[in-house]
Structure 1
Amino acid sequence: MPAALRAIAPDAAEAEVAAALTAVRAVDEACHAGDGAGVLDEAAHLRLAHDGLAGARLWLATDAEEPVGFALLTGESLDLAVAPTARRAGTGTALAAAAVAEAGPRLLAWSHVDHPGAASLARQHDLHAVRELLVMARPATDLPAPPERDDVRVRAYDPAAPGDAADLLRINAAAFAHHPEQGAMDADDLARRTAQDWFDPAGLLLAVDAATGATLGFHWTKIEPAVADGGTTGEVYVVGVAPEAQGRGLGKLLTLAGLHHLADRGVTEIELYVEGDNHPARAVYAGLGFEVVATHVQYARG
């Protein structure tokens, strides 16, 4: 029997919205524990933390007053989750029906870890797989040494230097011009990310032309606070190279510099996310010992 559904309006009382967001995070954490991946990505977590339900619709599924699922519709993007212990009871079907009925003609939804239940719901609502995001990982041991370079030096990002932030945003926008999420990062997004507990300027590495001082690319690494001191997993968060600096081997140089930084911080495994159709990047990462360990699929309608 499906759990009970309740719609939470964006303009609901502050206490009701806060309680609903706590329930959403609880379901997301249950999915992370059961599936190895949560449903909400970093952008969604930041949006909920800073904007609440502004511009969004939320449906909560509860069983005996306990949250067991949710559907979050933000613009044309849908995040839907059912806790592992509450699946196969029709709750996901009911949540999807409620959200799709309110969605516009175009709809996007991610299936993290490529769950078969998500594929079934997508077929029911005429959504088709349009994008793959691969998770690749490798141990943080036996790393190749970074190449010796006289023409480029690698240094840490300086939050107090306005030029570093401007260069980072410029290169990111150019390098990810066709990326629907990363390429949209602006000054406000950068400020939100650098305000997170995990941010460490020493882990945001810039490649600088030794002759001109121009910033050519960056490698932003990430270690969650829970594993920052002798923990297990570090992340190749973003690697970007300015288009005018392509062909100089900076992608491999920056990647290796970041991998060694993560290893020096005590992580034992390093992971990254890469678009399934980004074959040049996949080749670089495979050459550095990364292997595909999971696949996320995006479905679309319209």
Structure 2
Amino acid sequence: MADLKAYRATDLERLNSFINLVRGDSDSPRASDVGYLGDCLGQPGWNIEDNCQLLMVSESLAGYIHVVPELPIGRIVMDAAVHPDFRRRGLGKKLLTWGINRGVELGVKLAHIGTGEDAPAASALLEQHGFTPLRRYWELHWEGSTPEYTLPSGASLRSFRHGDASLLADVQNAAFDGQWGYSPNSVEDVEYKVQMHRVSHAGILFLVVGSDTAGFCWTRIDGPPGNQIGVIGMVGVRPEFRRGGMGRAILLAGMAYLAQQGVKAVELSVDSDNTPAREMYLNLGFRKVGGMIWYERTLP
């Protein structure tokens, strides 16, 4: 018998180990740790104890589902997995049903969920439950010496400082306004995220032109010393400052910062439909190493 139970803070360590196992990350620099996962689950508005269920078979954790409400854009984002030993028993259907029902309770119109492009069984399950493929994101990897770069004329760089949360929220929201899947960040959201594990204020860079913040690059470093990887979490430029090499400059500045910390490899993800960004990354030597298919279902 498989039973759902609400997540509680005492489940954090167990859930962290489970996530690393099902993602194959246990020995990888990408592996989660309880500090980072706890920070992620505690984000403003996530209400984790209302929106995460663990699937138990006797005393074994067989699966989980986490629903992230993004009420400003009328959607939920679901993350779910079943342990390999418990697959092909209908447990994925049980998790999806709970997630869909939770979205209906929250009053949103759309549910999104991603799965690896090499996971045909998961894709088939989603399509059986009314989800349709909508977007493909590429996972890109880079190694080498950071290319030299010069800032565009009149531009300068600086790192995030105390009190910059409003500025960062503003430039993020301007850079990603109208892009698929982007839910605007509040100042409260940003204030929380810049204090999370793995985040360094020095690794959040602003590209400044005159009195304007034209763009930003938000980096982090995953993994313990000796087994680290750099991550470009977000990079964006305000629409009025696009072209003229602004995006390339702030990206390379972020990569240079990571290299200064001793990181030899960098990863990021990109919407494959975002041709300018995708081609910029490929031209800089990034290569595709994986991908995610995003599915959508209209609720109820």
> Normalised by the shorter chain, which TM-score bucket?
0.7 to 0.9
Which residue is 1:278 aligned to? 274
Cα pair 2:137 2:293 within 8 Å, conserved: yes
Contact kept in structure 2, 1:38 and 1:112, CA below 8 Å: no
Which residue among 143, 149, 153 is the counterpart of 1:146?
149
In the alignment, the residues of structure 2 paired with residue 204 and residue 101 of structure 1 have an alpha-carbon distance, to the nearest angstrom, of 38
Identify the range of structure 1 (276-285 vs 168-177) with the bigger mean alpha-carbon deviation: 168-177
Match of 2:137 among 133, 138, 151: 133
The question of 1:254 aligning with 2:258 is answered no
Return 5+ residue gaps in structure 1 as ranges. 9-15
Q: Give the direction of change, closer, same or farther, for the CA distance of 1:84–1:245 in structure 2 (3 Å limit).
A: same
Q: Give the one of 37, 41, 59 matched to 1:48.
A: 41
The aligned counterpart of 1:12 is none
1:242-282 deviations in whole A, cap 9, x for unaligned? 22211221101111111111112111210011112100000
Q: Distance in 2 between matches of 1:114 and 1:131?
A: 15
SS at match of 1:71: strand
One of 156, 159, 175 as aligned partner of 1:156: 159
Displacement of 1:207 in angstroms is 1.3
Question: Which residue of structure 2 aligns with residue 189 of structure 1?
Answer: 189
Aligned to 1:204: 204
- Pairwise CA distance, 1:34: 6.1
- Matched to 1:70, the amino acid is Y
Q: Which residue of 2 aligns with 1:61?
A: 55
Q: Equivalent residues in 2 for 1:206-225 (5 A)?
A: 206-209=206-209, 212-224=210-222
1:206-245 CA-partner distances (Å, limit 9, x unpaired) = 1122xx3422111111112x33x34331011111112221
1:143 Cα deviation from its structure 2 partner: 2.4
Query: In structure 2, how many angstroms separate the alpha carbons of the residues matched to 1:144 and 1:151?
Result: 21
Deviation at residue 99 of structure 1 after TM alignment: 3.8
Q: For residues 75-119 of structure 1, what are the alpha-carbon distances to aligned partners after superposition, in whole Å with 9 as ceiling and x for unaligned? A: 533322112333233322333344445553643222145522210
Normalising to structure 2: TM-score of the pair? 0.82
Give the aligned partner of residue 11 of structure 1. Answer: none
Q: Does 1:301 align with 2:297?
A: yes
Selected match of 1:31 from 19, 22, 33:
22
Runs of 4+ in 1 over 4 A off after TM superposition: 20-23, 34-39, 43-47, 180-183
Give the alignment's TM-score, normalised by structure 1: 0.81
In the alignment, does 2:26 pair up with 1:17?
Answer: no
Does the 8 Å CA contact 1:233/1:270 hold for their aligned counterparts?
yes
CA distance in 2, matches of 1:127, 1:45: 29
| Preserved CA contact (<8 Å) 1:71 1:80 | yes
Residue 122 of structure 2 corresponds to residue 118 of structure 1:
yes
* Paired letter, 1:137: H
- Separation in 2, partners of 1:103, 1:134: 27
Q: Using the alignment, how far apart are the partners of 2:254 and 2:168 within structure 1?
A: 16
Structure 2 unaligned blocks of 5 or more? 70-75
Name the structure 2 match of 1:13. none
**Number of residue pairs aligned between Structure 1 and Structure 2:** 281
Supply the distance in 1 between the matched residues of 2:255 and 2:118 (Cα, whole angstroms): 27
Cα distance in 1 for residues equivalent to 2:179 and 2:38: 19
The structure having more radius of gyration, on CA atoms, is 1
State the identity as a percent. Answer: 26
